[in-house]
Amino acid sequence: MDDRAADAGDDHGRSAAVPVRAESAPAPAEFLDAPAADVDERAAFDLPGSGLSRPPRAHEAGSRWRRAEEEGGQDDLSARELLRSGADVGRSRERVRRARVTRLGVMLAAVGGYLWLRVARGHPVHFGLPHVPSGLGPYLLPIGLLVVLGGATLIPILAAGRSPHVLYRPGEIDVRLDDVKGAGVVVEEVVKTLNLFLAHRTFRERMGGNPRRAILFEGPPGTGKTYLAKAMAAEAGVPFLFVSSSAFQSHFYGMTGRKIRSYFRALHKAARAEGGAIGFIEEIDAIGAARSGMGGHGEGISGVVNELLIQLQSFDEPSIPQRLRGRLVDGLNRWLPTSRRIRKRPPAPANVLVIGATNRAADLDPALLRPGRFDRSVGFDLPSRAGRREIIDYYLAKKAHTAELDVESRRDALAGVTHGYTPVMIEHLLDEALVWALRRGAGRLSWGDVQKAKMTEEIGLAQPVEYTEAERRTIATHEAGHATVAWLVGKGRRLEVLSIIKRREALGLLAHSETEERFTKTRSEVVALIQIAFGGMVAEELFFGEAGTGPAGDLDAATRLAAQMVGAYGMAGSLVSLLAAGGPPGANLVAKVLSDETSRAALERILVDAKTVVRRLLDTHRVEVEALRDALLERDELVGEEIGAVLARAQVAEDPAVGEGRSGTEASLTHFLRQRTAADGERTDQPGPADPGPAAPGLI
């Protein structure tokens, strides 16, 4: 690994470990940068006479190891360094190559000797087309047609059981571990697995261990499971056999199992030829679902899973030459006495690593997850804020963008507003931003393009419709009420978009999110979300005397939040969790709460109290609601800082003394903090336990 890649890996932090090694063992310069969790795996390569050659920068690792021993046995090596050419895979590949060259040389020598012998005897070999008797001329065309028809009939039948995989050579894969961003822990675990894979013979023969045969990648779609598997194959320098589980399926009885056998046969063949091979089965739950009863169509689920289990345990199956030699030995042993029989050599194990990927690990058959099969599971989660920032830096380095996006605060803000995004979603967001830049005639994306792309992806395309003047004013007032309440009670929330443009089913919307990435909420914060949901309904009642049908979605969101407070979070007086009643996953909690009179009364009380607080807040802050309403009627949509600017001007207009002697920004900020403190005081009158779970949707 070059210096750049090594330094990038070191940025993820260093961990110390006390190496457990024999006294006479040399420093394992080949197994670089192993973390503390790999003491046993490091010892596998810390053996005298192991023969592992030093990879690049090995002398630095050796000196660092010795320095660590002198300082008390602690090492500060990184966890992202791989064994290279000195590993067993490289030696096996070289051994197979030499054997192949030797066989070719023997064959060419035999052919050359035969040709030389013919020349020496005066009967040289003449090369050319074969001689066809004149009598067969009229029959050549019919014979050719019969051969073509026979091939057209037989080839599809014979090819139906072929392995459906796609073979990628290391040179055909342009992804490396350095390209995998935002998944530091996963990459470290993969490096450990790859080091065992690359030094499988040392681990098996010197330590008596069994290298990992299969690992399972599980996680939501788009989190980089396939991407990382390709990087593993490229880093290991071995063939990569990709296959989708659906490609195994066939409506012919027995054909699915035959394709699975063909795939593993091809995997073993590639491993023997190249020293190792990595197989990747996408969406393995399609063929590895839990068995029940007699299964489904064709062979049934049970038959397919059984075949997969057998193949996962048949890595030591002898190759065809080994089987031929075994039969020859068996034939000779039939004529020999027991004491003089020839001993058969055990088959050489194929160095194969099977990777299964799924986002439904719970549906897999338990037998697939037992030791010796997919016994190591690697979870792919959504990237953290720091991980998203790393991903954003990686992709922006490849895409043309304005200097505005090189500012650290902008990139941090983008990482903050993409909470819940997978790496694929982040890349797609930037691609869509480039499309928006192209539409406006620019050659590079800007912050505004990113905002438009994000709004389009999350909310939908704008669908301008002609509202009546009264309806347009009602929708603007409704959304202004939401925004005002969110500004007053939404502690730690960011107002992103306020719009009266129709998108999908929403006639208008307020998009808001958390300023900090959090995983839990307090009772007061959940109540604040319910109050925000009531902002539109209360604003309509205050300014028009009655509410329309617009708040239907708001009441749905508020009821769901209140039901969670009552039936799941213990925030309404009762500590009984209705989730403990059981039922299928995702059972309707709202129905359980509404079916119980006491719980229903508690839910109703939460909603009524929230609406009462919102009415008092909006009645006091009518100026802010009117300012946002008028801005929406004028511009249709407010984004980000535009919302705060309108509220700031409304504050100054309401209380001119706030802005005396200070700039508008400073005055509005001071008044905003005063209002926020007062609102926080109101919400602190509603104490309760923490941890209400995930946040509610930020679209109102």
Over the stretch 582-636, which tens digit does the pLDDT of each residue have? 765 556 888 888 888 899 999 999 999 999 999 999 999 999 999 999 999 998 8
Q: Are strands 493-499 and 637-639 parallel, antiparallel or unpaired?
A: antiparallel
Is it the case that residue 668 has pLDDT exceeding 90?
no
Higher pLDDT, 580 or 315: 580
Instruction: Assess if residue 155 is contained within a domain.
Output: no
Query: Looking at the structure, do residues 415 and 318 belong to the same domain, yes or no?
Result: no
Q: Report the CATH number at residue 451.
A: 1.10.8.60
Query: Looking at the structure, do residues 572 and 664 belong to the same domain, yes or no?
Result: yes
Is it the case that residue 12 has pLDDT exceeding 70?
no
Into how many domains does the chain fold? Answer: 4
Average pLDDT of the chain is 77
Q: Report the CATH number at residue 596.
A: 1.20.58.760
pLDDT-derived band at 297 (thresholds 50, 70, 90) equals: very low
pLDDT-derived band at 485 (thresholds 50, 70, 90) equals: very high
Query: Could you say which of 81, 114, 130 is where a domain stops?
Result: 81
342: left (phi over 0), alpha (psi -120 to 50) or beta: beta
Query: Looking at the structure, do residues 355 and 441 belong to the same domain, yes or no?
Result: no
Measured in degrees and rounded to the nearest 5, phi and psi for residue 498 equal -130, 120
Residue 505 catalytic? no
Q: Which of 310, 291, 302 is nearest to 365 (CA)?
A: 291
- If DSSP codes are grouped into helix, strand and coil, which group holds residue 454? helix
pLDDT-derived band at 130 (thresholds 50, 70, 90) equals: confident
Q: Are strands 240-244 and 493-499 parallel, antiparallel or unpaired?
A: unpaired
Lowest-confidence pick of 284-298, 455-469, 645-659: 284-298
How many other CB atoms are there within 10 angstroms of residue 692's CB atom? Answer: 23
Query: Looking at the structure, do residues 492 and 442 belong to the same domain, yes or no?
Result: no
- What confidence score (pLDDT) does residue 258 get? 85
Query: Looking at the structure, do residues 519 and 592 belong to the same domain, yes or no?
Result: yes
Query: Looking at the structure, do residues 516 and 605 belong to the same domain, yes or no?
Result: yes
Instruction: Give the list of residues 6+ apart from residue 649 with CB closer than 8 angstroms, or none.
Output: 627, 664, 668
Instruction: Assess if residue 176 is contained within a domain.
Output: yes
Interatomic CA distance for residues 254 and 260, integer angstroms: 10
> b or e along 111-120 (b: 16 or more beta carbons within 10 Å of the residue's beta carbon)?
eeeeeeeeee
Query: Looking at the structure, do residues 487 and 574 belong to the same domain, yes or no?
Result: yes
Cα–Cα distances (Å) from 7 to 3, 33, 458, in that order, read 6, 12, 37
For 424, the enclosing helix (H) or strand (E) is helix 423-439
Q: Report the CATH number at residue 276.
A: 3.40.50.300
pLDDT-derived band at 334 (thresholds 50, 70, 90) equals: confident
Lowest-confidence pick of 89-93, 287-291, 533-537, 659-663: 659-663
Is it the case that residue 10 has pLDDT exceeding 60?
no
Exposed, middle or buried, 45 (CB in 10 Å: 0-12/13-18/19+)?
buried
pLDDT-derived band at 300 (thresholds 50, 70, 90) equals: low
From the centroid of its chain, how far is CA 67? 38
pLDDT per residue over 210-252, tens digit each? 888 889 999 888 888 989 998 888 888 888 999 988 888 877 7
Instruction: Assess if residue 487 is contained within a domain.
Output: yes
What range does the domain containing 374 cover? Answer: 166-290+300-330+347-379
User: What tokens does 132 get?
Assistant: 């066809």
Instruction: Give the list of residues 6+ apart from residue 512 with CB closer than 8 angstroms, or none.
Output: 486, 490, 493, 494, 495, 496, 532, 698, 700
- What confidence score (pLDDT) does residue 477 get? 93
Query: Looking at the structure, do residues 507 and 493 belong to the same domain, yes or no?
Result: yes
Instruction: Assess if residue 140 is contained within a domain.
Output: no
Q: Which of 188, 189, 479, 624 is catalytic?
A: 479
Query: Could you say which of 458, 477, 508 is where a domain stops?
Result: 458
Query: Looking at the structure, do residues 373 and 434 belong to the same domain, yes or no?
Result: no
Is it the case that residue 540 has pLDDT exceeding 90?
yes
Interatomic CA distance for residues 365 and 178, integer angstroms: 34
pLDDT-derived band at 82 (thresholds 50, 70, 90) equals: low
Interatomic CA distance for residues 168 and 233, integer angstroms: 9
Higher pLDDT, 515 or 70: 515
Instruction: Assess if residue 237 is contained within a domain.
Output: yes
Instruction: Give the list of residues 6+ apart from residue 418 with CB closer than 8 angstroms, or none.
Output: 388, 392, 425, 426, 429, 454
Query: Looking at the structure, do residues 444 and 565 belong to the same domain, yes or no?
Result: no
pTM metric for this prediction: 0.70
Instruction: Assess if residue 644 is contained within a domain.
Output: yes
Instruction: Assess if residue 146 is contained within a domain.
Output: no
Q: Residues of the chain with pLDDT > 70: what percent?
A: 78
**Residue carrying structure tokens 């239907």:** 552
Please say whether the beta carbons of 82 and 191 come within 8 A.
yes
pLDDT per residue over 54-80, tens digit each? 333 333 433 443 343 344 443 333 444
Query: Looking at the structure, do residues 431 and 408 belong to the same domain, yes or no?
Result: yes
Higher pLDDT, 156 or 407: 407
pLDDT per residue over 158-211, tens digit each? 777 788 888 988 888 888 888 888 888 888 888 888 888 888 888 888 888 888
- What confidence score (pLDDT) does residue 565 get? 93
Is it the case that residue 372 has pLDDT exceeding 50?
yes
Instruction: Assess if residue 414 is contained within a domain.
Output: yes
**Residue carrying structure tokens 């360094």:** 81
Interatomic CA distance for residues 462 and 500, integer angstroms: 10
Q: Which of 337, 363, 434 is nearest to 395 (CA)?
A: 434
Query: Looking at the structure, do residues 531 and 411 belong to the same domain, yes or no?
Result: no
Question: What mean pLDDT is predicted for residues 326-342?
Answer: 87
Query: Could you say which of 401, 429, 458 is where a domain stops?
Result: 458
